[in-house]
Structure 1
């Protein structure tokens, strides 16, 4: 049965929801992934993107995408790993991104909250990922936490050298980063945090984001939305986030699902609807 009224995959004429950012390799450590993908499809989630955070683990990420027709993947180095696996140029990223299941570059970006890697290493790797996105035309998947000013500065500096597509994933920042991202054609992706009672400021910000620039994601196994908060998150739960956003924007759930799915395939052009 579909969650929150969304069509199950294969029901009706729609493509279903898209979980544009999840970490299936983390969920795989708890057992077989087949039930996870099946629950997603039963909840109306017909497409998933499993995200790479370490180049050294890309083979595992790719193999998951190869196993399931509904799953695509990315290639990249999370800012937490930039100190040990950060890229200084685009060469290796471009080589791995040639695989037809790779639909994005990242996740990359800046995280000054934890600072697991030096800021300089994060910034160098971020720029290398941008170069790979610019050359491949695959969208850049950006992580930004407590680093809005530097994120905006780098995106604007690099965009001036030549355009590249992208998305700010799991958006939790303020209106300044949202405006800067939208100005260069980026999309904004929302995860379960937007459903939290404490996230009114975030809801106020995303209420102003154009509907044709919104995506939804789980960032699973983290950040399960209400009413699953506190539990291990999984792609099926993106339906709850989508339902909350549909209500926020005053839209029927199926209309919002169709809109965000259309947005996804407009941005992630290598992904093919099922």
Structure 2
């Protein structure tokens, strides 16, 4: 039996959507998506760069409305496309007013779309950009916990701003390291999936003061809308699930994660 759809909840306190890919959304006109996002009290949206061919598009989107922001970085899937010209482009815009982080960067040993050695080199080079520009980072880590920790340890001193390990699905070892170092963990619709008890276990162990809300739209649509393209306006369902897991009032979760997002991306 399919789960009955219900209205998207709207909370009194605004929400910040810390990770989505607006340029990947296809099922509705972007203007309609953004209007619905505002209707459910999403105050800010960060759209994430992942490859050389969308760096400029993310910058364009971030300039299209005062409440839209972006990042600059190359995902590990496209690490083999990274070169000096790409690095120069990221560096030249890392300090832009509407660019709030270096990302999405990191390691992905699950798909292995790029050579692992190249992934590690590109991860290090982009962490250095964040250090040089005093920017937080948005990290992707999948099946690469040990190497992620090893590389982050190399930057513990110079990388003062920290950031988020987004769409956290890794083990407790990486979670403990990240939390101890002052990182945030990003959670999305995976928290609502039936077989994601491992992710819910990490939500339980993470202090609410180090959790960020995200959708990773168009991917990972939360229950009860699985099967549809994800969108930023579904993020209230993530907030509800975090509140349920942590046995906290949902308005407290929304208010605290909002403050966490401001501290991570919007404070000097």
- When the two structures are superposed, what TM-score results if normalisation uses the length of structure 1? 0.90
- What is the aligned counterpart of 1:227 among 211, 224, 227? 224
Conserved 8 A contact 1:90-1:131? no
**Which deviates more, 254-263 or 51-60?**
51-60
Residue pairs, 1:70-81, within 5 angstroms: 70-81=67-78
If the length of structure 2 is used for normalisation, what is the TM-score? 0.92
How far is 1:3 from its partner? 2.8
Which residues in structure 2 correspond to 1:86-165 (within 5 Å)?
91-160=88-157, 162-165=159-162
Equivalent residue for 1:205? 202
SS at 1:222's partner residue?
A: coil
Query: Cα deviation per residue 1:243-266 (whole Å; 9 max; x = unaligned)?
Result: 110111122211211110110000
8 Å Cα contact 1:55/1:75 also seen in 2: no
Runs of 4+ in structure 1 displaced over 2 angstroms?
2-5, 29-32, 85-94, 160-164
Distance 2:105 2:127 in 1: 9
**Unaligned residue ranges in structure 2 (runs of 5+):** 1-6
Paired residue for 1:24, among 19, 22, 31?
22
Residues 263/71 of structure 1: CA separation in 2 closer, same or farther (3 Å cut): same
Structure 1: runs of 5+ lacking an equivalent: 8-13
RMSD: 2.0
1:166 aligns with 2:171: no
Equivalent residues of 2:214, 2:235 under 8 A apart? yes
Give the Å deviation of 1:270: 5.5
What are the Cα deviations for residues 67-86 of structure 1, in whole angstroms up to 9, with x where unaligned? 12221000000000001125
- Residue 9 of structure 2 corresponds to 4
Q: 1:100·1:270 contact (CA, 8 Å) conserved in 2?
A: no
1:30 CA displacement = 4.5
* C-alpha displacement of 1:94: 2.3
The corresponding residue for 2:38 is: 41
Separation of aligned partners in 1, 2:112 and 2:175? 22
Residue 186 of structure 2: aligned partner: 189
SS at structure 1 position matched to 2:55: helix
* Contact 1:5–1:253 (Cα < 8 Å) also in 2: no
Q: Could you tell me whether the CA contact under 8 Å between 2:221 and 2:231 is conserved in 1? A: yes
Count residues in correspondence. Answer: 263
